[in-house]
Structure 1
Amino acid sequence: MSKMKILVVDDEIDYRETFKMLLEGRNFTVETAESADVALEKMHNEYFPLVLSDVIMPGTDGIDFLIKAKSEILKPFEIILVTGYGNIQTAISAIKNGAFGFFIKSHNPEELIIEIEKARRSVEMKNKLSMYEKQSGDESYLSTSKNLKMNRVIELAKTVACSDSNVLITGESGVGKEIIAKLIHENSTRADMPFVAINCQSFSDNIIESELFGHEKGAFTGAFGKRIGRFEEASGGTIFMDEIGELSQSTQVKMLRVLENRSVERIGSNKSISVNFRLISATNRSITPGIQDFFREDLFYRINTIELNIPPLRKRKEDIEDLIFFFLNCFNKSTKKNISSISPSTMEFLKGYDYPGNIRELKNIIERLVVTSKGGILNMDYSDSFDSKIKSDNSFSKDCGSIDSFIFEGDNIISYSDAKKNFERYYFEKVMEKFDGNITKAADFINLSRRQLFNKITEFGLK
């Protein structure tokens, strides 16, 4: 990691040299300027994330320098003003005009170092936010990753995009299956044609067929006009069928016929209409023949020419920080708020949480925190009920639908003793929830003595 560059501005050489020695001793790169005008020139020619400036200087003083620098320098930076005199009015003026902090020269230098570290974190966050600004609202950013398995999925998606093969995308709810489907479409020869998405779970059995195949006027009660179905609408482009495992057996039969004949018949018509689309399907549950009997084997092999399995967010934690900043920038814009930093405790929690709802849950959490946070800082403390709910959900966040989550940390299998503790904690937590904290009833139900159960509650820190 490169050293942060600090510009020290002071008309007295003794102070410039003192600050230079102090900061270089703390592993910062330091340059100096004897006046505000020289400092501004240097800032136009070189990037300094942090400036340490005296207040009282001949010519342009520290406050005027602060105002000029904030208006002229476009890259994110912070200024800490320093002075030999503790004047409350000057401090207030400095903060009002955008100074990050205010330091009195006679105070303990450690106080200045602490303030500099805070400023460094602020600048780093502003730089990250500015990186994501151009991607705000652009979901294609979500198809990038630092995770090896996810990158393999992305690369395979781009490779298969060149063909017309049917693709089945699998993964837990909220992992971003539609994002990958759009990535395939946008990298295909069909990119200029429609991308039509439909969630098969959103429609009842008697409505889904009308949605997919269309209908003629009067075909059924309520059919007041002709309707073009999604297969027709997607002709020339791509149709994305999310939660395809929710289709009824009768609809599966009709869909199989469409894939075989490349034509559809609207409900209420016997006229065949040719269609030419690329099918991408998705499901969050197993539809493998032999394991589940609700999905037709012949249709499964039709839609599953190529399968892409998206790992859950808890298995790609190296992506969480980037996603936090991406969504933070999106919601900063949509809510017209200016969140410019994240409290360390909030960032630690967000990076450590397991997200059973995956990227969709992370997005919702960031939106909630942006709306409830104050003072330009993303902070869970401003949303007590939300904070407690999330922490409760995460008290044993491995309750996320997969036995793997009891025995894996990332891609590594944990020790038997740790896996056993994970399960025991989960088991006793659920038992106590079921009996509303009544130890006697719970102990009797699970055939333990009251003391044994109490010892387990104490061991795992349960309420």
Structure 2
Amino acid sequence: MTQHWTNVQFGAQNTDSAIAVVDGIIAGNSPVMQQVKQHIALVGASVAPVLVQGETGTGKELVAEALHAVSGRTGELVAVNCAAIPAELLESELFGHEKGAFTGAEGRKIGRFEQACGGTLFLDEIGDMPPALQVKLLRVLETRKIRRLGSMQEIDVDFRLVTATHRDLTSQEEVQFREDLYFRVAVFQIGLPSLAKRVTDIPLILDRMIKGYKANDVTFDEPLFDETGMRALQSHTWRGNIRELRNTLIRASVMFPGQVVTGDMVKHFLLNAGMPYIDGCAPQSDAVMPETHDLPSPDQFRYLNDAEGQDLDLRVYLRDIEVALIETALEKTSYCVSRAATQLRLRRTTLIEKMKKYGLNREVA
């Protein structure tokens, strides 16, 4: 089980600089996450194995990345998901093989143990490792030597081992895991809390996610969760943890790009993965989209197509409508851009960009 540490300054490794490195990788300032970060900073420089435990989607791979970042090791962080690779292929993936070692081995392959030399080997979901391979991993940890499949030559390996699991490795009812291997990989244990236990971190996590998306896609127009929207996110149970939160942000960016997202929108269209309209029909829930403020019905525009000899430049017409709506919102709010953006369900920066585009700039609040 996860060991609970008291708030004590244990050693010189637990420095502000190390925690700053961890902060750059893992978002969150809740008390429970501050403790996790202190643990990472403390054991990061050690070569001792670390077992990271937490529910699926809590970010165990980020802990491995942070441990490697503060370790000072010059090699790579090499990650292997033991649950994602078939059992018959996992041994070759870890140990590597020589040409002709088995059918289909057309050349030499360097395994993950060797790739991680001088660095960190991260074995995710180690609880899914087959029992026969657990024995071989135990021998590697004891001797620090491996042999590629099909070879008689032993190779020295130097890696720092970090493992992770969402299972209780000490429960034989839940998983078949060797007790002697458990004590080898669990020299230090770091427990990750579920997202439901750190909901105050959600704004920071979302901000980190959004920055990542914008760094990879300059056209990414993020949604802006207002106070009610953020409260709705923080009151959710988050069974899928951070992974579920990421999915929710993706849905919001597709359905409400550049818009203010309210609590009702979060509850009815984001958390249940519902859609505002399906096959042209209104949703069955009692949720409503943002108020239309008595805007004309689409049917009132049909006369445009009924007039003989009259063509419609749709882009120009829609531009004029957008300009009129923006000007109206600005006038009603005495040119307070923030309030006008809220009325239009836009982010403040998005409204400012549109004002510049249409030449609507003036003294604004």
1:298-309 equivalence runs, <5 A: 298-309=180-191
Task: Name the residue aligned to 1:254.
Answer: 136
Indicate how the Cα distance of structure 1 residues 334 and 265 shifts in structure 2: closer, same or farther if over 3 A, else same. Answer: same
- Tell me, yes or no, if structure 1 residue 310 matches structure 2 residue 228: no
Unaligned runs of 5+ in 1: 1-137, 392-463
166, 177, 184: which one pairs with 2:49?
A: 166
Task: Name the residue aligned to 1:201.
Answer: 83
- Tell me, yes or no, if structure 1 residue 297 matches structure 2 residue 189: no
1:211-360 equivalence runs, <5 A: 211-288=93-170, 292=174, 294-335=176-217, 336-339=219-222, 341-360=224-243
8 Å CA contact 1:321, 1:351 repeated in 2: no
Which of the two has higher C-alpha Rg? 1
C-alpha distance in structure 1 between counterparts of 2:274 and 2:220, whole Å:
23
Amino acid at match of 1:358: N
C-alpha distance in structure 1 between counterparts of 2:93 and 2:59, whole Å:
23
Task: Name the residue aligned to 1:149.
Answer: 32
1:384 Cα deviation from its structure 2 partner? 6.2
8 Å CA contact 2:53, 2:167 repeated in 1: yes
C-alpha distance in structure 2 between counterparts of 1:389 and 1:364, whole Å:
9
Amino acid at match of 1:158: A
8 Å CA contact 1:168, 1:303 repeated in 2: yes
Deviations for 1:22-50, whole angstroms, at most 9, x for unmatched residues?
xxxxxxxxxxxxxxxxxxxxxxxxxxxxx
C-alpha distance in structure 1 between counterparts of 2:39 and 2:249, whole Å:
30
1:227 Cα deviation from its structure 2 partner? 0.3
Cα root mean square deviation, aligned: 2.5
The higher-RCO structure (CA 8 Å, 6+ apart) is: 2
C-alpha distance in structure 1 between counterparts of 2:252 and 2:103, whole Å:
46
C-alpha distance in structure 2 between counterparts of 1:383 and 1:334, whole Å:
28
Amino acid at match of 1:240: F
Unaligned runs of 5+ in 2: 1-20, 276-365
1:374 Cα deviation from its structure 2 partner? 3.8
1:334 Cα deviation from its structure 2 partner? 3.9
Task: Kindly indicate which of the two structures has a greater share of residues assigned to helix.
Answer: 1
Task: Name the residue aligned to 2:307.
Answer: none
Deviations for 1:44-75, whole angstroms, at most 9, x for unmatched residues?
xxxxxxxxxxxxxxxxxxxxxxxxxxxxxxxx
Instruction: Count residues in correspondence.
Output: 253
Amino acid at match of 1:197: A
TM-score by length of 1: 0.51
C-alpha distance in structure 2 between counterparts of 1:181 and 1:209, whole Å:
22
C-alpha distance in structure 2 between counterparts of 1:366 and 1:286, whole Å:
31
